[in-house]
Amino acid sequence: MENADRPLILVIDDDSALRQICLDLLRARDYRAFGAASVGEGLRQFGERRPAAVLLDLKLPDGTGMDVLRELQRRSPLTPVIVISAHGSVPEAVEAMRLGAAEFLEKPVAAERLHAVLERALTPLPAGEEPALERTLEGARYGMVGSSEAMQRVYQLVDMVAPTRARVLICGERGTGKELAARAIHAHSPRREKPFVELNCAAVPAELIESEMFGHVKGAFTGAVADRRGTFESADGGTLFLDEIGDMSLVMQVKLLRTLQEGQVTPVGSSQSRPVDVRILAATSKNLVEEIDKGQFRDDLYDRLNVVNIVLPPLRARREDVPLLAEHYLRLGSVENDLKPKRLTPRAVEFLAQLPWRGNVRELRNLMERLAVIVAGDTVTHREVMDALHMASAPPTEDGAPVPLKLARSRFERQYILERLSANRGNLGNTARDLGIERTNLYRKMKRLGIESPAKRE
């Protein structure tokens, strides 16, 4: 007989035999458990039944466990997700931990280990032991941290527009959370189970953007060897996020405008248009009104996109959120690297709060994640924050005071790793082999030295 008080566990694995084994193991310990065989089904079931924890296989027929993990992190960051990985796929498991997985288990899953891991994941943290996360999450909405008045206004707008189809223009400096806001809107919209597709208008070369957006038919141009769907069609039923819209050429602006008016796309090289049902969110770090004055942006397109405007404040305009964000990312950095939690000294917090933060939240996040790894003890001092800042920004050689050995070594390591990464075109496995270290070790070093993983740079 099922006991409704026992935690409900969702097992997402496409291998029905393995799924059944997990379900049996769980039920043998009185957990209530149910299974799903795909990304789509898993997310749907999660939404409907709100399990207390999720066991997640990384290889699924309609996507990867990483997709599930990302989505669950957005929807319900406190629900523990335990990743089950095939034997020998440690890098994937590390990546999963980076994305917020609570633990990982190697296949075949051993009963004892499964229970130990689940128990740990489901035990509430002892009061006082790790207050940082709870406090952080109080101010957190949609994965957005911050309780300042300026952020409250942002949350209100997100709440208001999410259930509608309204187009939203999200403005703000670099690193202020524009993409996060766009994802939050999608995740809280009726389209949440449908795709969220991002197109970065600044990253796609001008000559490719039309085909990227609208697709092309075979033979439309050299290299068009087969029909291809564009982002509009990939996002059908869901949301298309047009990032850096201020960088779109005037020619493309006209084409986009026409598409928005007609609700139809015409693939490059085709004479037939196809209807699409897409909600558009756009973002820019440029001042579009100025761009309109300069003749760089069409005002009719601006009016179409800017039905609702959300402006993300720069971090220096909401300094009261710095401590919350700093603790949040310091904790995340520790958890991801399997390290003990660390605390900031009051002086370190004070110091952080008055920095200029030109790179906004992204800069703060990188700094805190680096500190989580480089600081050996369990407190992070003001001095260590200064050193870490220095390491991120200072050129490799610099006049003036001699550089402490530790810093010099870090700089050399950073430079050398960057070199090898570039020689290996970002391939971590080959770079690790070159350097004679384990891939996971390389990954850790990169994190510590503030080197973005190539996957993120793509």
Ligand X SMILES: Nc1ncnc2c1ncn2[C@@H]1O[C@H](COP(=O)(O)OP(=O)(O)OP(=O)(O)O)[C@@H](O)[C@H]1O
Segment interacting with ligand X (CB under 6 A) among 139-147, 294-302, 418-426, 432-440: 139-147
Binding mask 153-192 for Mg ion (x = CB under 5 A): --------------------------x-------------
> Is 175 near ligand X (CB under 6 A)?
yes
Q: In the complex, what is the shortest distance from the CB of residue 143 to ligand X, in angstroms, rounded to a whole number? A: 6
Bridge partners for 104 per DSSP: 83
Residue whose CB is nearest to Mg ion in the complex, by number: 179
CA-derived radius of gyration, the chain = 24
Closer residue to ligand X in complex, CB, 18/180: 180
Query: In this structure, how many other beta carbons lie within 10 angstroms of the beta carbon of residue 364?
Result: 21
Given Mg ion, ligand X, none, residue 371, with its beta carbon under 5 to 8 Å by kind, binds none
> Is 320 near ligand X (CB under 6 A)?
no
Which of 179, 227, 236, 413 touches ligand X (CB under 6 A)?
179
Residues 266-305, interacting with ligand X (CB under 6 A): 285
- CA pair distance 11, 29, nearest whole angstrom: 15
Binding mask 150-169 for ligand X (x = CB under 6 A): --------------------
Number of residues lying near ligand X (CB under 6 A): 16
Q: Are 54 and 46 in contact (CB under 8 A)?
A: yes
The string over 212-247, giving b where at least 16 C-beta atoms fall within 10 Å of a residue's C-beta and e elsewhere, is: bbbbbbeebeeebeeebebbbbebbebbbbbbbbbb
Phi, psi of 268 (to 5 degrees): -60, 130
The string over 31-51, giving b where at least 16 C-beta atoms fall within 10 Å of a residue's C-beta and e elsewhere, is: bbbebbbbbbbbbebbeeeeb
Short-list 74, 38, 96, CA closest to 162: 74
Residues 321-350, interacting with ligand X (CB under 6 A): 325
Segment interacting with ligand X (CB under 6 A) among 156-164, 208-216, 359-367, 395-403: 359-367
Which of 178, 342, 414, 445 touches ligand X (CB under 6 A)?
178
What totals of helices (H) and strands (E) does the chain contain, helices first?
21, 16
Distance of CA 427 to the CA centre of its chain: 21
> Is 67 near ligand X (CB under 6 A)?
no
Closer residue to ligand X in complex, CB, 365/447: 365
What does the binding site for ligand X look like in residue numbers (CB under 6 A)?
144-146, 172, 174-180, 285, 325, 361-362, 365
